[in-house]
Amino acid sequence: MPTVTALYRYPVKGFTPERCERITVLPGGRVAGDRVLNFRFADAPVADAAWCRKYHGVVLVNTPGLARLQVRFDDSAQRLRIAFEDHVLAEDGLDEAGRQRLVDAITGYVLSLDENPLTGQPVRLPLKLVGDGAAPRYQDNEAGQVTLHSRESLASAGAALGDANLDERRFRHNIVIDGVAAWEEQSWVGRKLRVGAVEFETVVPKVRCLATHANPLTGERDLDVMQTLVRAFRQQQPTFGIGLLSRAGGEICVGDIVAERF
């Protein structure tokens, strides 16, 4: 029987994950505490609280060096901690002064990287830390979506890429399962799915972006994931994992059973 083997949430859009023993899926289908904050460019074409495409902020796709940071967000205290190796770059609350200190720390770190979206782009500065720390607004898809892949598909992709220890954090999903055939989750597209007590009514394939090329530990673009997915698995678009939407929501824990509902 397929089971949940790992759970993740990403408090800051495009930054590193927090591994969880349980997650709460909110009505409508977003994970509580997931993508609640976003370091956004000054020239982003929408209001701060509004969704926009990931390319309007500092995220892994344009700043692979973010993978070297460790992020922790305390929901109850509304405090964000960002560290690089053993050094804390910033740890502050979300009041105006705290946001400014967090922005200053990230701006300095990003500008220190050889590959970054700020150098030579004055219209993108100053960065803004947007989000209220509670509402999960900044997923890749405007509808939100909870994301899932299997360890078996990960192993298959790793074999094609020549990396037997392919790190699942490259794909930035919320739910990881095992106990299915490789790529079986793609056959669930268009069907209903139950994960633990949560029923998902919409299942769609997840097309991947350049963020998957970044090593989650080193921040180096070391694998050509997108082209390999297309070539090795005869895909029209580089696809790995699935996106899920739930009307009612609920809690999912590591060890929960996964079942199809037609």
Along the 262 residues of the chain, how does pLDDT read in single tens digits?
Answer: 899 999 999 999 999 999 999 999 999 999 999 999 999 999 999 999 999 999 999 999 999 999 999 999 999 999 999 999 989 999 999 999 999 999 999 999 999 999 999 999 999 999 999 999 999 999 998 989 999 999 999 999 999 999 999 999 999 999 999 999 999 999 999 999 999 999 999 899 999 999 999 999 999 999 999 999 999 999 999 999 999 999 999 999 999 999 986 5
Phi-psi region of 183 (alpha: psi -120 to 50; beta: other; left: phi over 0): left
For the chain, the structural domain boundaries read 3-31+140-261, 38-130
CB contact at 8 A, 47 and 201: no
Q: Which candidate, 168, 217, 191, 214, places its Cα nearest to that of 4?
A: 168
**Residues in CB range of 59: below 8 A, 6 or more apart:** 13, 14, 15, 66, 211
**CATH T-level assignment (fold) for domain 3-31+140-261:** M1 Pyruvate Kinase; Domain 3 (2.40.33)
- CA atoms of 166 and 168, how far apart (whole Å): 6
